[in-house]
Amino acid sequence: MKLATIRSVCECQARLLADVDVGGLASAGRAVVRGQTLGAPVNALNSEDEYFDVGWLCPFCGRNTLRSFYRGALAWRPASAETAA
């Protein structure tokens, strides 16, 4: 399985990250502010399309953040054994 890490920024300036697999499933959502990392619920929408959306719930401010991504621009890497478990 291959994964890509997508990144964005919330309006509160938290860095939002998530892993997306080739099938379009988003997982391991997280938000980072000043070195503090919290889990952030994440969901991929229209994940089978070339352009797809990812939504995060920011744990720092409570905002729902929706961003669009282009599948062709993602950098894919093999999933490690730890990630696959």
- Reported as a single tens digit per residue, the pLDDT across 62-72 is 999 999 999 88
Q: What is the pLDDT of residue 6?
A: 94
Going 2 to 9 to 38 to 46, the CA torsion angle's sign is negative
53, 50, 55, 54: which is closest to 72 by C-alpha? Answer: 50
Measure the CA–CA gap between 15 and 82, rounded to whole angstroms: 23
Among 11-15, 43-47, 67-71, the range scoring the smallest mean pLDDT is 43-47
Question: What does the chain come to in residues?
Answer: 85
pTM given for the model: 0.84
Q: What is the pLDDT of residue 84?
A: 46
Query: What secondary structure letter does DSSP report for 32?
Result: E
